[in-house]
Amino acid sequence: MKKQKSFRKLIGLLVSSIVLCSPTVAQSAGHKHSKQGAVTSTLCAKADSPASLKCGRGVSAVFDNKGRLWLAWAFAGHVYVNFSDNKGKTYSSPIAVNKTPEPIAAKAESPVKIVVDQQGKLFISWTMKLPKRFSGHIRFSRSIDGGENFSTPVTVNDHLEVTSHRFESMAVNDRGEVFIAWLDKRDLLAAKKAGKAYTGAAVYYTYSDNHGQSFHPNIKITDSSCECCRTAMTIDRDGLPIILWRHIFGKNTRDHALVKLIDKDLVGNVRRASFDNWKVDGCPHHGPSISSSDEGIYHLTWFNNAPERHGLFYAHTKDKGKTFSTAINIGNYKAAASHPQVLSTGENVYLLWKEFDGKQSSLMTMHSSDKGNNWSVPKVLLQSSSANDHPLLIHDGQQVYAAWHRRGEDYRLLLLQK
């Protein structure tokens, strides 16, 4: 028995050393590093180097009501938060949110999230990777002392089997109630066990009405969401969230759906929000964005790639998703226009997206000053040849900014003109 154990140990050691020492892929002829790429990869390759925003992953940004810019991002198993009091010229030293490292699934399509309430309490969420492929838990931490200390992270999905709970979105209302929605495969898992078919994932949410101290039991919104696109959430005039996601209609039509909560525990009707009929049994990795105006108009932007209707789209609804304006195409489809964001303040609506010409990514914007009816011509804000995240739109109560993370470079905050 003892002999067998030591033999097993030896084999275990051998196997792990083979896997750990494995070289990367074979080199093919003509392998060239771009100069910039090589510099970036050296700069950001060392896991034991100090936490750096430049090399961080899945960066999110938000202003508090005093105009302080807060960033949250992942680096080497930790989520970090830092801030800027001069609109991104300089930043504070980062503070680790989770003291114990854990595997964090922070990518451009699924970044760390940060929101702040009227009292300056900070709420952070992210997806923790689990050992099985496509699996994860939604994690949450808060700071009630202005970012000096963060609570020990908790898992907010109350189904804890190893399956997918990922692609969360989070928002906080003026009452300090925190809402988190995500894509969840607990029903797929149950269907599999029962030998039944199940399409896609489900959308679940939870909320906290004690400033993030604890969360209510999870509530299901619907079955059959697409399983690998970011979800989007915004707060309506009544303080309740609207959630937008890519849904699977019928067998494989991947259009969008939205829902507005009627009360904190009460889910409204799920309504179809895009009608492009993209039939694809695949992963777009390309989620939508939503913003609600002071008047209760919901502004939506998304990507689809159906043969007849493709590219980026914008539309709005004045009746909570019963009817929509005619969707307009935005951006240049032939220049890879992608990953759009929308933000409305008063009668102004801003759109932001990326384009790519083979070498450079361009950050693009356009603006409407009449609630999304008429639009300016698109404008290039910034170009970059570095690998980059999806851009974000944020506002400080007075002005709107584009925020953009480019790996290995300074974080950029760009003021948008009305």
Partner 1 sequence: MKSLLWFSLFWALSINAVAEQQIKNFTSGSYEQIAKQYQDQPFVMVLWSLDCPPCYKELELLANERKRYDFNLVLISTDGADASIEVATVLMKYKLHDVDNWLFEKSSAQPLRYEIDPLWYGELPRSYLFDKENQRQAISGVLNSSQLSK
Q: Does 47 participate in binding partner 1 (rule CB under 8 A)? A: no
Q: Does 377 participate in binding partner 1 (rule CB under 8 A)? A: no
Kindly tell me which of 136 and 321 has the beta carbon lying closer to partner 1: 136
Q: Does 303 participate in binding partner 1 (rule CB under 8 A)? A: yes
Q: Does 19 participate in binding partner 1 (rule CB under 8 A)? A: yes
Measured from the CB of residue 294, what is the shortest distance to partner 1 in angstroms?
A: 34
Q: Does 266 participate in binding partner 1 (rule CB under 8 A)? A: no
Residue from 350, 294, 296, 348 nearest 322 by CA: 296
Contact 365, 381 (CB under 8 A): yes
Residue from 184, 195, 191, 145 nearest 161 by CA: 184
Q: Does 338 participate in binding partner 1 (rule CB under 8 A)? A: yes
Kindly tell me which of 37 and 67 has the beta carbon lying closer to partner 1: 37
Of 111-119, 256-264, 268-276, 355-363: span binding partner 1 (CB under 8 A): 355-363
Q: Does 359 participate in binding partner 1 (rule CB under 8 A)? A: yes
Q: Which of residues 382-401 bind partner 1 (CB under 8 A)?
A: 387
User: Using CA atoms, how far apart are residues 281 and 245, in angstroms rounded to an integer?
Assistant: 17
Of 18-26, 95-103, 120-128, 265-273: span binding partner 1 (CB under 8 A): 18-26
Both tokens of 367, joined, read: 């603006």
Q: Which of residues 178-217 bind partner 1 (CB under 8 A)?
A: none
User: Using CA atoms, how far apart are residues 217 and 207, in angstroms rounded to an integer?
Assistant: 8
Instruction: Please identify which residue in 2, 89, 99, 133 interacts with partner 1, judged by CB under 8 A.
Output: 133
Contact 418, 348 (CB under 8 A): yes
Beta bridge partners of 172: 178
Element (H, E) at 43: helix 35-45
With the CA atoms of 141, 139, 201 and 224 taken in that order, what torsion angle do they form, in degrees rounded to the nearest 10?
-10
Instruction: Please identify which residue in 38, 160, 162, 283 interacts with partner 1, judged by CB under 8 A.
Output: 283
Kindly tell me which of 240 and 330 has the beta carbon lying closer to partner 1: 330
Where b means 16+ CB within 10 Å and e means fewer, 377-416 reads ebeebbebebbbbbbbbbbbeeebbbbbbbbbbebbbbeb
The C-alpha angle 8, 25, 78, rounded to 5 degrees, equals 75
**Number of residues lying near partner 1 (CB under 8 A):** 46
Instruction: Please identify which residue in 131, 195, 217, 358 interacts with partner 1, judged by CB under 8 A.
Output: 358
Kindly tell me which of 192 and 418 has the beta carbon lying closer to partner 1: 192
DSSP conformation class of 279:
B
Beta bridge partners of 82: 71
Q: Which of residues 224-243 bind partner 1 (CB under 8 A)?
A: 227-228
Q: What is the DSSP string of 329-350?
A: EES-GGGT-EEEEEEEETTEEE
Contact 123, 116 (CB under 8 A): yes
Measured from the CB of residue 22, what is the shortest distance to partner 1 in angstroms?
A: 5
* Residues that bind partner 1 in the complex, under the rule CB under 8 A: 4, 7-8, 11, 14-15, 18-19, 22-32, 34, 37, 133-134, 227-228, 252, 279-286, 303, 305, 333-336, 338, 356, 358-359, 361, 387
